[in-house]
């Protein structure tokens, strides 16, 4: 049994191709059953996110073509259309790939942690519908353990590499405990949503979302137990905010110096942390002149992001070493399965020889032969039968100059370690 990964991701395929091969939650169970019913594919896991679609298989021999055919057939897409965007990994490369994916080394944002949860969900779904077995079960549990080791032993996820992450990290530096703080998020786009998620994970006390379209603000705020206001209401609520993060598409600033000044008076000059990550800017630059305001723009954050990216890249190099070690460890376990099968076959053959010789010896006893003579026959015949095949192979190895086989046999049978092996 061999391991195979077949897939595409944000680095190999544009979004329109990724969309064609995506697996929604409503079809994933049927897809897994269909996949594992294919000839040569014994186990399967399907991982489908916005950035990647991958199938992990335990296959007989090399069933890459079967997997490619299944993927295109299931989605009704010609192989020629998607073939150039697909990658395939076999054996150790497949193991390494999964370990890198789980550790965030193959993500669009280096070191992001969300992918590990997505892989765990994909594996659990496959397990629940009995699409996994011994091989993929061991592989995925191993991958989860390695990902935890990478997180523990490197700084792969500790440095900010997105604007939203950098903004929240700076807020945590200013307010060490966010549980008592209120955040006002101006806008409701992707960056603001990501900032809301980071704040929520950091334990923010309260979230207010202000947006031109109040319905959209309500949708976002509801995800984090916050409440929504219109942009025109910002002045009434600004004094409540300890943290302000702004990112709208407005051509003009939505927050002026006068509004901030009035809010600071209401706050009795308690500090306010503000991040303007919009282009054009949402907060008037003159706000920076006010005491008790920490105002950062996207340019200010870029240095934090660049430093974080360098830190993650250094951590990624450490992570690659960890992954290489654990990939070898898994492959050693996989090879041991082959040895286990060989040992089982050899033991069965030896037991068959034993039973045959024992039956002959029993017949001799029944015929009245002396027990001592029968025991000698039993020992001599069984020894000859057990050693016949290995002895013949060793003589052949000597004739053909296969010294490595002779050396291996010397070690295997624990013979004289000083014996000189010559094939001359």
Tracing tokens 């073509």 back to the chain, one arrives at 65
Q: Return the DSSP state at 252.
A: S
* CA distances for 380 relative to 350, 360, 389, angstroms: 15, 13, 15
Q: Is 190 annotated as a binding residue?
A: yes
Q: For residue 7, list its beta bridge partners.
A: 54, 87
**Segment 232-256 mean pLDDT:** 95
**Segment 314-322 mean pLDDT:** 95
What is the pairing mode between strands 52-59 and 41-48? Answer: antiparallel
Tracing tokens 């039973």 back to the chain, one arrives at 355
Q: How many CA atoms lie within 13 A of 103 on its CB side?
A: 35
Could you tell me the pLDDT band of residue 424, with boundaries at 50, 70 and 90? low
Rg (CA), the chain: 33
Q: Is 189 annotated as a binding residue?
A: yes
Domain 2-153 class? alpha beta
Q: Is 112 annotated as a binding residue?
A: yes
Q: Is 192 annotated as a binding residue?
A: yes
Could you tell me the pLDDT band of residue 420, with boundaries at 50, 70 and 90? low
CA angle 298, 299, 304 (to 5 degrees): 90
Domain coordinates of the chain in residue numbers?
Answer: 2-153, 163-306, 344-413
CA angle 234, 240, 246 (to 5 degrees): 50
Q: How far is CA 393 from the centre of its chain?
A: 45
Active-site choice (50, 57, 102, 129): 50
Please provide the average confidence, as pLDDT, over all residues in the chain.
91
Q: Is 384 annotated as a binding residue?
A: no
How far apart, in whole angstroms, are the C-alpha atoms of residue 150 and residue 128? 27
Q: For residue 324, is pLDDT > 90?
A: yes
Would you say how long the chain is, in residues?
A: 424
50 is catalytic: yes
Q: Is 389 annotated as a binding residue?
A: no
Q: Is 152 annotated as a binding residue?
A: no
Helix (H) or strand (E) holding 195: helix 190-201
Per-residue pLDDT tens over the stretch 120-129: 999 999 999 9
> Using an 8 Å Cβ cutoff, are 119 and 140 in contact?
yes
Per-residue pLDDT tens over the stretch 76-115: 999 999 999 999 999 999 999 999 999 999 988 788 888 9
Joined together, the tokens standing for residue 298 give 């996207």
Q: Is 25 annotated as a binding residue?
A: no
Identify the three-state secondary structure at position 90. Answer: strand
Q: Is 341 annotated as a binding residue?
A: no
**What pLDDT is recorded for position 62?**
65
Identify the three-state secondary structure at position 57. Answer: strand
> Using an 8 Å Cβ cutoff, are 280 and 131 in contact?
no
Answer yes or no: CATH 3.40.50.800 is held by domain 163-306.
no
Helices 134-153 and 298-366: crossing angle in degrees, nearest 10, is 140
Q: For residue 340, is pLDDT > 70?
A: no
Could you tell me the pLDDT band of residue 418, with boundaries at 50, 70 and 90? low
Q: For residue 294, list its beta bridge partners.
A: 273
How far apart, in whole angstroms, are the C-alpha atoms of residue 377 and residue 180? 89
């Amino acid at each position: 049994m061999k391991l195979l990964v077949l897939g595409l991701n944000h680095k190999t395929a544009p979004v329109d191709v990724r969309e064609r091969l995506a697996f929604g939650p409503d079809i994933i169970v049927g897809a897994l059953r269909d996949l594992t019913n294919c000839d040569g594919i014994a186990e399967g896991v399907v991982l489908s996110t916005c950035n990647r679609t991958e199938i992990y298989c335990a296959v007989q021999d090399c069933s890459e073509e079967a997997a490619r055919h299944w993927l295109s057939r299931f989605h009704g897409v010609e192989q020629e259309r998607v073939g150039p965007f697909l990658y395939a990994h076999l054996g150790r490369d497949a193991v390494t790939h999964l370990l890198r994916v789980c550790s965030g080394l193959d993500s669009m944002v280096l070191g992001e942690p969300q992918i590990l949860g997505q892989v765990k969900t994909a594996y659990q779904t496959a397990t629940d519908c009995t699409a996994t077995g011994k091989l993929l079960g061991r592989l995925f549990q191993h991958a989860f353990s390695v990902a935890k080791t990478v997180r523990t032993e490197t700084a792969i996820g500790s440095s900010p590499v997105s604007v939203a992450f950098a903004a929240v990290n700076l807020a945590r530096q200013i307010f060490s405990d966010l549980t008592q703080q209120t955040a006002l998020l101006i806008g409701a786009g992707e960056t603001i949503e990501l900032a809301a998620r980071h704040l929520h994970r950091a334990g923010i006390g309260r979230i207010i979302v202000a947006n031109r379209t109040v319905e959209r603000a309500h949708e976002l705020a509801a995800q984090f137990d916050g409440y929504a206001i219109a942009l025109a209401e910002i002045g009434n609520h600004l004094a409540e905010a300890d943290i302000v993060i702004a990112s709208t598409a407005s051509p003009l600033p939505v927050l002026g110096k006068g509004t901030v000044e009035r809010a600071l008076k209401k706050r009795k000059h308690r500090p306010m942390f503000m991040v303007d990550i919009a282009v054009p800017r949402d907060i008037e630059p003159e706000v920076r002149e006010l005491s008790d305001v920490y105002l950062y723009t996207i340019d200010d954050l870029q240095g934090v992001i660049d430093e974080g990216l360098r830190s993650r890249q250094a951590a990624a190099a450490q992570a690659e070493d960890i992954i290489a070690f654990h990939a070898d460890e898994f492959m050693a376990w996989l090879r041991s399965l082959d040895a286990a099968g060989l040992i089982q076959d050899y033991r069965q053959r030896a037991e068959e020889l034993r039973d045959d010789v024992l039956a002959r010896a029993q017949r001799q006893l029944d015929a009245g032969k002396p027990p001592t003579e029968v025991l000698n026959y039993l020992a001599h015949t069984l020894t000859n039968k057990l050693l016949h095949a290995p002895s013949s192979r060793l003589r052949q190895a000597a004739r053909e100059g296969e010294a490595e086989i002779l050396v291996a046999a010397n070690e295997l049978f624990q013979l004289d370690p000083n014996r000189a092996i010559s094939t001359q």
